[in-house]
Amino acid sequence: MVEKLSVVKFGGSSVRDSFWSALELVDYLLEGSRLVVVVSALRGVTEKLLELSERPEWELFESIALEHSRIADKLGAEVKPLLDELEKAIKENRHDPEWKDYILSFGERFSAVLFAKALENEGIPTIPIDAREILTLRGSFGNAEIDFSASLPRVRKLGELAEKAVPVVTGFIGNLNGKTATLGRGGSDYTASALGAMLDAKGVLIMSDVKGIYTADPRLVPEARLIHFLSRERALLAAKLGMKALHPRTIEPLGSIPLILGRTEDWRLGTLVSDFGDDWPIIVHRVEGERARISIVGVEELPGWKGVKGNGYFSIAVEREELVPALREIHGVVFDEDPRSCHHSELWARV
Ligand code: ASP
Ligand code: MG
């Protein structure tokens, strides 16, 4: 029987700042299964490409070229053909959504070439895959969705390919009626989960520079705690109500396939989202102009706070400038009363 497969997605900082940890994780995962790697653009590159699509200036192009050439030289990878193609593309100077998506696609395409070469250098056979060759999209430029049934035959072939080498697939992009389109910002997590779903993976791992899902946004609430085991239902509701760590689109296709979020640098600790996780309360927020909406998922009322009870959550509207103090105060109320503490464990043994 063919062994099961895992999908691991590396975010933009992994290829640059945590290369060795990423390679170590790949080695570890390869011991137990076939593997498909999905990569996003190097950190900050999509922003630069976006800027380039708004004002195609030579200096901007040069800085993108330099950034990738430096890494390519170190690895012995070849990015010249992609650079030439990008240079030609920006000269078209078209500014329509189709052209913009085409420009944005280069970030992931550079990354896949670099990451694949890095694995090769470690003696791991790889094959860089341009997702436009396997993922059929529908919808519109800038925010397309993956057409699972149309993509399935080619994705299955990818699974077969993974028996011989590790495919390194570009996240974020696909083929929309023969044209290059993107899945919306942050879309490479969705690429990974869609591939995981179509290949019936034993797990999907999303590796980035944040450890995982916290009880609130840790950049705003320093007391927020990392949640190690979280139920799928809870993760999905939190994502729908504004949690930044995951997009609902990433969770939805997975069915009962476990999803792990982790930081590339210390990948033994993270969040495992599965049918067997706990229903932790999670405090999420969404800024709406001058106001912000805080939702406490898993809590239906909060003594002393006026708000609206939803199905499985309680939400409170605040002025935008009150957001951070309100989040911290609510976090204190919700979690000081909760004596449970998050347990540390080796999530990775489960994948
Ligand atoms: N590089 C794309 C972005 O920054 C996709 C991703 O990172 O997932 O939005
Ligand atoms: Mg990115």
All domains of the chain in start order, with CATH: 5-209 (3.40.1160.10), 282-334 (no CATH)
Say whether pLDDT at 193 is over 50: yes
> Measured from the CB, is residue 186 less than 6 Å from ligand 1?
yes
Q: Which of 10, 13, 38, 40 for a ligand 1 pocket mutation test, highest count of atoms within 8 Å of Cβ?
A: 40
Query: 263 CA to middle of ligand 2, Å?
Result: 15
- Please tell me whether residue 186 adopts helix, strand or coil conformation: coil
Nearest CA to ligand 1 atom 6: 186
Q: Which residue has the tokens 């999209």?
A: 137
Query: 44 CA to middle of ligand 2, Å?
Result: 7
> Measured from the CB, is residue 313 less than 6 Å from ligand 1?
no
CB-CB contact of 294 with 323 (8 Å)? yes
Q: Length of the chain, please?
A: 351
| pLDDT tens digits along 252-271 | 999 999 999 999 988 878 99
User: Which ligand is the nearest neighbour of the Cα of 104?
Assistant: 1
- Answer whether 0.85 is exceeded by the pTM: yes
Alpha helices in the chain (DSSP H): 19-32, 45-54, 58-75, 80-92, 97-121, 148-161, 188-198, 232-240, 248-251, 323-336
Query: 182 CA to middle of ligand 2, Å?
Result: 12
User: Which ligand is the nearest neighbour of the Cα of 107?
Assistant: 1
Nearest CA to ligand 1 atom 7: 186
pLDDT at 1: 53
Which atom belonging to ligand 1 lies closest to the Cα atom of 185? Answer: 9
Sorting pLDDT into bands at 50, 70 and 90, what band is 343? very low
| pLDDT tens digits along 99-110 | 999 999 999 999
In this structure, what DSSP letter does residue 72 have?
Answer: H
User: Which ligand is the nearest neighbour of the Cα of 186?
Assistant: 1
Q: Percent of the chain, pLDDT > 70? A: 95
